[in-house]
Amino acid sequence: MVEVKHVSKTYGSKKVIENLSVDIQPGKITSFIGSNGAGKSTLLSMLSRLISKDEGQVLLHGRDIHSIKPNDLAKELSILKQSNHIDLRIQVRDLISFGRFPYSQGRLTKEDWVEINKAIHYMELEEIQERYIDELSGGQLQRAYIAMIIAQDTDYVMLDEPLNNLDMKHSVQIMKSLRKMVEEMGKTAVIVIHDINFASCYSDRIVALKHGEIVREGPTEEMINSEMLKEVYDMDIPVQLINGERICLHFK
Protein backbone atom coordinates (compact mmCIF):
# COMPACT_ATOMS: atom_id res chain seq x y z
CA MET A 1 0.00 0.00 0.00
CA VAL A 2 1.08 3.56 -0.73
CA GLU A 3 0.21 6.14 1.89
CA VAL A 4 0.51 9.84 1.28
CA LYS A 5 0.72 11.77 4.51
CA HIS A 6 0.28 15.52 4.74
CA VAL A 7 2.32 16.42 1.69
CA SER A 8 2.72 19.99 0.48
CA LYS A 9 4.48 21.53 -2.49
CA THR A 10 5.10 25.17 -3.17
CA TYR A 11 6.50 26.72 -6.33
CA GLY A 12 7.74 30.21 -5.58
CA SER A 13 4.93 31.63 -3.51
CA LYS A 14 2.26 29.43 -5.07
CA LYS A 15 1.00 26.51 -2.98
CA VAL A 16 0.38 23.80 -5.54
CA ILE A 17 -0.42 20.96 -3.15
CA GLU A 18 -1.48 21.72 0.36
CA ASN A 19 -1.42 19.29 3.28
CA LEU A 20 -2.78 16.43 1.21
CA SER A 21 -3.27 12.89 2.49
CA VAL A 22 -4.53 9.90 0.57
CA ASP A 23 -4.17 6.12 0.70
CA ILE A 24 -3.72 4.25 -2.54
CA GLN A 25 -5.50 0.97 -2.15
CA PRO A 26 -3.64 -2.03 -3.49
CA GLY A 27 -5.11 -4.18 -6.27
CA LYS A 28 -7.23 -1.34 -7.61
CA ILE A 29 -7.23 1.33 -10.28
CA THR A 30 -7.34 4.79 -8.75
CA SER A 31 -8.00 7.77 -11.03
CA PHE A 32 -7.00 11.32 -10.21
CA ILE A 33 -9.34 13.80 -11.83
CA GLY A 34 -9.62 17.57 -11.74
CA SER A 35 -9.28 20.58 -14.00
CA ASN A 36 -6.05 21.84 -15.55
CA GLY A 37 -3.61 23.06 -12.95
CA ALA A 38 -5.39 21.32 -10.08
CA GLY A 39 -2.13 19.63 -9.05
CA LYS A 40 -2.69 16.09 -10.33
CA SER A 41 0.66 15.72 -12.03
CA THR A 42 2.47 17.32 -9.13
CA LEU A 43 0.88 14.85 -6.75
CA LEU A 44 1.70 11.90 -8.98
CA SER A 45 5.31 13.03 -9.31
CA MET A 46 5.66 13.28 -5.54
CA LEU A 47 4.06 9.87 -5.14
CA SER A 48 6.66 8.39 -7.43
CA ARG A 49 9.76 10.24 -6.11
CA LEU A 50 10.29 12.23 -9.30
CA ILE A 51 10.03 15.52 -7.46
CA SER A 52 10.75 16.34 -3.86
CA LYS A 53 8.06 17.50 -1.51
CA ASP A 54 8.30 20.42 0.89
CA GLU A 55 6.47 18.68 3.68
CA GLY A 56 4.98 15.30 4.46
CA GLN A 57 5.79 11.73 3.60
CA VAL A 58 5.04 9.08 1.03
CA LEU A 59 5.19 5.55 2.40
CA LEU A 60 5.42 2.35 0.40
CA HIS A 61 4.62 -0.67 2.56
CA GLY A 62 5.26 1.55 5.56
CA ARG A 63 8.68 2.77 4.38
CA ASP A 64 9.47 6.27 3.22
CA ILE A 65 10.06 6.03 -0.53
CA HIS A 66 13.20 8.13 -0.24
CA SER A 67 14.76 5.60 2.11
CA ILE A 68 14.34 2.77 -0.41
CA LYS A 69 17.29 2.10 -2.72
CA PRO A 70 16.49 3.62 -6.12
CA ASN A 71 17.05 0.36 -7.92
CA ASP A 72 14.78 -1.56 -5.55
CA LEU A 73 12.11 1.08 -5.80
CA ALA A 74 12.26 0.82 -9.59
CA LYS A 75 11.18 -2.81 -9.29
CA GLU A 76 8.19 -1.84 -7.12
CA LEU A 77 6.88 1.35 -8.64
CA SER A 78 6.99 2.80 -12.12
CA ILE A 79 5.88 6.15 -13.49
CA LEU A 80 5.21 7.52 -16.93
CA LYS A 81 4.92 11.29 -17.13
CA GLN A 82 2.40 13.34 -19.00
CA SER A 83 4.82 14.42 -21.69
CA ASN A 84 8.14 12.92 -22.55
CA HIS A 85 10.71 14.47 -24.85
CA ILE A 86 13.27 12.00 -25.97
CA ASP A 87 15.59 13.13 -28.70
CA LEU A 88 17.42 9.86 -28.95
CA ARG A 89 17.05 7.71 -32.02
CA ILE A 90 16.53 4.27 -30.54
CA GLN A 91 14.45 1.39 -31.71
CA VAL A 92 11.08 0.67 -30.10
CA ARG A 93 12.39 -2.69 -28.98
CA ASP A 94 15.40 -1.12 -27.28
CA LEU A 95 13.24 1.45 -25.55
CA ILE A 96 11.05 -1.29 -24.15
CA SER A 97 14.06 -3.35 -23.13
CA PHE A 98 15.25 -0.46 -20.94
CA GLY A 99 12.22 -1.25 -18.78
CA ARG A 100 14.19 -4.30 -17.65
CA PHE A 101 17.14 -2.23 -16.52
CA PRO A 102 16.35 -2.42 -12.78
CA TYR A 103 16.53 -6.20 -13.00
CA SER A 104 19.43 -6.87 -15.32
CA GLN A 105 21.43 -3.61 -15.38
CA GLY A 106 21.52 -3.85 -19.15
CA ARG A 107 22.67 -7.47 -19.51
CA LEU A 108 19.36 -8.88 -20.62
CA THR A 109 18.56 -12.45 -19.68
CA LYS A 110 16.15 -14.87 -21.35
CA GLU A 111 13.56 -13.97 -18.71
CA ASP A 112 13.95 -10.31 -19.55
CA TRP A 113 13.28 -11.03 -23.20
CA VAL A 114 10.14 -12.95 -22.29
CA GLU A 115 8.87 -9.87 -20.45
CA ILE A 116 9.89 -7.55 -23.27
CA ASN A 117 8.12 -9.65 -25.88
CA LYS A 118 5.07 -9.88 -23.69
CA ALA A 119 4.95 -6.09 -23.37
CA ILE A 120 5.35 -5.70 -27.14
CA HIS A 121 2.51 -8.13 -27.68
CA TYR A 122 0.31 -6.43 -25.08
CA MET A 123 0.62 -3.07 -26.78
CA GLU A 124 0.43 -4.61 -30.27
CA LEU A 125 3.77 -3.21 -31.30
CA GLU A 126 5.08 -6.28 -33.16
CA GLU A 127 4.97 -4.56 -36.54
CA ILE A 128 6.82 -1.45 -35.46
CA GLN A 129 9.25 -2.89 -32.94
CA GLU A 130 12.26 -2.30 -35.21
CA ARG A 131 11.31 1.29 -36.01
CA TYR A 132 13.16 4.24 -34.50
CA ILE A 133 11.10 6.17 -31.99
CA ASP A 134 11.65 9.49 -33.75
CA GLU A 135 9.75 8.09 -36.71
CA LEU A 136 6.60 7.12 -34.81
CA SER A 137 3.26 8.88 -34.57
CA GLY A 138 2.30 10.38 -31.20
CA GLY A 139 0.03 7.50 -30.36
CA GLN A 140 2.50 4.81 -31.40
CA LEU A 141 5.13 6.46 -29.26
CA GLN A 142 2.79 6.62 -26.28
CA ARG A 143 2.11 2.90 -26.64
CA ALA A 144 5.84 2.21 -26.81
CA TYR A 145 6.36 4.12 -23.54
CA ILE A 146 3.56 2.21 -21.88
CA ALA A 147 5.06 -1.05 -23.12
CA MET A 148 8.32 -0.06 -21.44
CA ILE A 149 6.43 0.46 -18.18
CA ILE A 150 4.76 -2.92 -18.61
CA ALA A 151 8.14 -4.56 -19.16
CA GLN A 152 9.30 -2.94 -15.94
CA ASP A 153 6.74 -5.21 -14.28
CA THR A 154 6.22 -3.29 -11.06
CA ASP A 155 3.42 -3.82 -8.52
CA TYR A 156 2.57 -0.12 -8.65
CA VAL A 157 2.07 1.52 -12.02
CA MET A 158 1.54 5.28 -12.21
CA LEU A 159 0.54 6.84 -15.49
CA ASP A 160 -0.02 10.54 -16.07
CA GLU A 161 -2.61 10.91 -18.81
CA PRO A 162 -1.82 7.58 -20.49
CA LEU A 163 -4.44 8.17 -23.16
CA ASN A 164 -2.55 11.18 -24.51
CA ASN A 165 -2.55 11.05 -28.30
CA LEU A 166 -4.40 7.77 -28.49
CA ASP A 167 -7.33 6.98 -30.76
CA MET A 168 -10.49 5.38 -29.37
CA LYS A 169 -9.43 1.85 -30.15
CA HIS A 170 -6.07 2.17 -28.47
CA SER A 171 -7.47 4.08 -25.51
CA VAL A 172 -9.85 1.22 -24.86
CA GLN A 173 -7.04 -1.25 -25.41
CA ILE A 174 -4.84 0.44 -22.81
CA MET A 175 -7.59 0.74 -20.24
CA LYS A 176 -8.47 -2.92 -20.79
CA SER A 177 -4.87 -3.99 -20.35
CA LEU A 178 -4.69 -1.96 -17.15
CA ARG A 179 -7.77 -3.77 -15.83
CA LYS A 180 -6.25 -7.08 -16.84
CA MET A 181 -3.01 -6.23 -15.06
CA VAL A 182 -4.91 -5.29 -11.94
CA GLU A 183 -7.23 -8.28 -11.96
CA GLU A 184 -4.92 -11.01 -13.19
CA MET A 185 -1.57 -9.94 -11.84
CA GLY A 186 -2.74 -8.10 -8.74
CA LYS A 187 -1.08 -4.84 -9.73
CA THR A 188 -2.09 -1.43 -8.49
CA ALA A 189 -2.59 1.40 -10.95
CA VAL A 190 -2.79 5.12 -10.33
CA ILE A 191 -3.68 7.21 -13.33
CA VAL A 192 -4.35 10.84 -14.06
CA ILE A 193 -7.14 11.02 -16.57
CA HIS A 194 -9.24 13.77 -18.15
CA ASP A 195 -11.81 11.67 -19.93
CA ILE A 196 -14.33 11.32 -17.15
CA ASN A 197 -16.12 8.45 -18.88
CA PHE A 198 -12.97 6.36 -19.08
CA ALA A 199 -12.50 7.07 -15.40
CA SER A 200 -16.06 6.04 -14.74
CA CYS A 201 -15.93 2.81 -16.76
CA TYR A 202 -12.54 1.53 -15.72
CA SER A 203 -11.49 2.77 -12.31
CA ASP A 204 -12.30 1.38 -8.89
CA ARG A 205 -11.70 4.59 -7.01
CA ILE A 206 -11.69 8.25 -7.93
CA VAL A 207 -9.79 11.03 -6.23
CA ALA A 208 -10.94 14.50 -7.26
CA LEU A 209 -8.55 17.42 -6.85
CA LYS A 210 -9.15 21.13 -6.93
CA HIS A 211 -6.60 23.86 -6.16
CA GLY A 212 -4.17 21.36 -4.71
CA GLU A 213 -6.60 19.75 -2.32
CA ILE A 214 -8.75 16.67 -2.44
CA VAL A 215 -12.35 17.77 -2.70
CA ARG A 216 -13.77 14.27 -2.79
CA GLU A 217 -12.67 10.70 -2.97
CA GLY A 218 -14.35 7.34 -2.96
CA PRO A 219 -15.43 4.31 -4.96
CA THR A 220 -16.32 5.16 -8.54
CA GLU A 221 -20.04 4.39 -8.23
CA GLU A 222 -20.37 6.84 -5.34
CA MET A 223 -18.32 9.50 -7.06
CA ILE A 224 -19.76 9.76 -10.53
CA ASN A 225 -22.81 11.99 -10.14
CA SER A 226 -23.82 15.48 -11.15
CA GLU A 227 -23.23 16.90 -7.72
CA MET A 228 -19.57 15.81 -7.60
CA LEU A 229 -18.97 17.01 -11.16
CA LYS A 230 -20.41 20.38 -10.27
CA GLU A 231 -18.11 20.67 -7.33
CA VAL A 232 -14.98 19.64 -9.22
CA TYR A 233 -15.52 21.21 -12.62
CA ASP A 234 -18.15 23.91 -11.96
CA MET A 235 -20.27 22.45 -14.73
CA ASP A 236 -23.77 21.04 -14.80
CA ILE A 237 -23.28 17.58 -16.22
CA PRO A 238 -26.09 15.04 -16.40
CA VAL A 239 -25.11 11.43 -15.67
CA GLN A 240 -26.98 8.52 -17.24
CA LEU A 241 -26.83 4.83 -16.68
CA ILE A 242 -26.12 3.17 -20.04
CA ASN A 243 -25.50 -0.59 -20.17
CA GLY A 244 -24.78 -0.49 -16.48
CA GLU A 245 -22.09 2.22 -16.81
CA ARG A 246 -22.40 5.76 -15.49
CA ILE A 247 -21.86 8.01 -18.48
CA CYS A 248 -21.37 11.74 -18.09
CA LEU A 249 -22.85 13.85 -20.87
CA HIS A 250 -20.44 16.76 -20.74
CA PHE A 251 -20.37 17.90 -24.34
CA LYS A 252 -23.13 20.50 -24.15
Ligand X SMILES: Nc1ncnc2c1ncn2[C@@H]1O[C@H](COP(=O)(O)OP(=O)(O)OP(=O)(O)O)[C@@H](O)[C@H]1O
Residues at the contact surface with another protein, assessed by CB under 8 A: 48-50, 69-75, 78-81, 84-91, 94, 98-99, 101-102, 105-106, 132, 152
81 or 179, CB closer to Mg ion? 81
38 binds ligand X (CB under 6 A): yes
Q: Judge whether 37 and 52 are in contact, CB under 8 Å.
A: no
* Nearest distance, CB of residue 119 and another protein, angstroms: 14
Q: Judge whether 78 and 158 are in contact, CB under 8 Å.
A: yes
Q: Judge whether 23 and 4 are in contact, CB under 8 Å.
A: yes
Near ligand X by CB under 6 A: residue from 4, 30, 31, 42: 42
Q: Which residues inside 140-159 make contact with ligand X, applying CB under 6 A?
A: none
83 binds ligand X (CB under 6 A): no
Backbone angles phi, psi at 139, to 5 degrees: -70, -40
Backbone angles phi, psi at 159, to 5 degrees: -130, 125
Binding track, positions 53-82, relative to ligand X; x by CB under 6 A: -----------------------------x
41 or 97, CB closer to Mg ion? 41
41 binds Mg ion (CB under 5 A): yes
The pairing of strands 77-80 and 239-242 is: unpaired
Backbone angles phi, psi at 158, to 5 degrees: -120, 125
Q: 212 Cβ partners below 8 Å, 6+ apart?
A: 9, 15, 16, 17, 18, 20, 38, 39, 42
Q: Which residues inside 6-35 make contact with ligand X, applying CB under 6 A?
A: 11, 16, 34
**Interacting residues toward ligand X by CB under 6 A:** 11, 16, 34, 36-42, 82
